[in-house]
Amino acid sequence: MSAVEVSSPPAQGEGSTCGEEEFTPPPHRDRIFALIVIGTFCGQLGLSIIAPFFPAEAKEKGVEGTALGWIFSIFELATMVGTPITTRLLVRYGSKPILVSGNFLGGMANILNGLCWYVGDGAPFIVCCLLLRVVAGFAFSFESTAGYSLLSSLFGQNVSTATGILEGVNGLAMILGPIVGSSLYSLAGGDSHLGYVLPFVVLGLVELLFSFLTALLLPKLPSPPQSQPSLFNFSPKVLLACVNCVVSGIALGFLNPTLQPHLSAPPLHYSVQMVGLVLSAACGSYALVAVGVGALDDWAKGSIGPQLMALGALLSGISYLMLAPLPLQIGGQELMLTPALCWSSTMVLGIGVAFGLIPVYKQLISCALHEVPQERELAASSLFTIAMATGAFLGPTLGGLLLEVVGARTAYSSTGILEVVLAVLLFLIAMTPAFRRDNTARSPLLGSA
């Protein structure tokens, strides 16, 4: 049994997510959580190294724009598909083998990705990269689903603070990944073949080493549920948290294909290196704020989670309206993008995504109608992973499409307006009496399966 006993689904109106009984943490909690955090950092670092050098090197191997886009986006699709499979494996084998396997598969995928340089140009290289990105997506689903499913058992009602720490570590890895990748690329000779190989092999070996350390150091973990939990046994209000989670992922991922063309054009004329630093500002503000948002959500016992998510959507919307900037006349002159507006808007975006994303996991737990605590936690972690992967897939996809059709400025303005509208809807829905009613008075979303 989990360390947290819950006899019935908690009351959302009261903000409880993990029951009101006195919580006793399991033995070796700090060691377990430290290994989850380090594993998350290593995994995200290995995934983040490719941005500075992979597009140019892939072009040299005969990869065109559409194929390159699929090499990036198939990772999120694999994560979405792999999460239900991960849930079934976790029920059968437990959390420890899944966590170890996630790091091991991620490390092997990175190493083999580096060795892809030695296969033929064109189709052979593309196929190898696609297959290895699928493996990496499954590895990420292993790490994310297993890691998040343990947070409630490890921290009880402080699950949002733990979520904030994990997401803060993700943000830090997203900042350091491109720096480490470009440094190793330059160290190995840049555009020589070793420049492509070395970053993948080094980060892959680090992740492989950590998988063995995890196998040795990870103590006995809380028992998994006896059967695979349904991903549809949630109260209908779970749709609010899921939609918000997807939109938060879109808001951050939208920058990937659009920020460089937008900032390299007049009036800023930023270089690729400067664009990377601007993107790091968004990841950095996200990492810094995530823990604080989680602590605030825990302090309020989840009762203000929907309002925090609404605030996140509002901040994200304002940031995109600043980054466009919105075509307004001020003092007879049209508002133009300035360095100050650029940097402040991306930092506000990171803060907005933190407010939008961190409270989601606790809300998912509170919406779960599973009778067994372990089933509730595993179902919530699976749904959280799927929603995040969906947003991460749609963000770059929609960003690239809108960039081609309407241009970056109109795309940013439209996205900002839609985010503000979403913020208003989230706040209004969260304040309605029907939404605030006890979860126990509700029926499952699509019935128990």
**Confidence band for 329, pLDDT divided at 50, 70 and 90:** low
pLDDT greater at residue 64 or residue 311? 311
In the numeric block, the tokens 């330059």 are attached to 186
Longest dimension (CA), the chain: 68
Same domain for 76 and 155, yes or no, is yes
End-of-domain residue from the set 181, 207, 224: 224
The residue-averaged pLDDT of 281-291 equals 92
The residue-averaged pLDDT of 46-74 equals 81
Same domain for 341 and 304, yes or no, is yes
Percent of the chain with pLDDT over 70: 89
Q: How far is CA 354 from CA 153, 237, 287, 318, in A?
A: 23, 21, 8, 14
Same domain for 319 and 172, yes or no, is no
Average pLDDT, the chain: 85
pLDDT greater at residue 443 or residue 417? 417
- What's the pLDDT at 331? 58
pLDDT greater at residue 20 or residue 292? 292
Q: Tens digits of per-residue pLDDT, 361-401?
A: 999 999 999 888 889 999 999 999 999 999 988 888 888 88
- 399 part of a folded domain: yes
- 7 part of a folded domain: no
The residue-averaged pLDDT of 291-320 equals 94
End-of-domain residue from the set 162, 191, 224: 224
Residue span of the structural domain in which 131 resides: 28-224
Q: Tens digits of per-residue pLDDT, 138-190?
A: 999 999 999 999 998 899 889 999 999 999 998 899 888 888 888 888 888 77
Bin 192: left if φ > 0, else alpha if -120 < ψ < 50, else beta: beta
pLDDT of residue 8 exceeding 50: no
- What's the pLDDT at 416? 92
Per DSSP bridges, beta strands 329-330 and 333-334 are antiparallel
Give CA torsion, residues 26, 33, 90, 114, to 10 deg: -160
CA 157, chain centre distance (Å): 22
What is residue 445's DSSP assignment? Answer: S
pLDDT greater at residue 127 or residue 13? 127
Same domain for 156 and 209, yes or no, is yes
- What's the pLDDT at 2? 37
Amino acid at 287: A
What is residue 228's DSSP assignment? Answer: P
- 15 part of a folded domain: no
Question: CATH number, domain at 134?
Answer: 1.20.1250.20
Same domain for 282 and 356, yes or no, is yes
pTM value? 0.84
Give the total number of structural domains in the chain: 2
Same domain for 41 and 164, yes or no, is yes
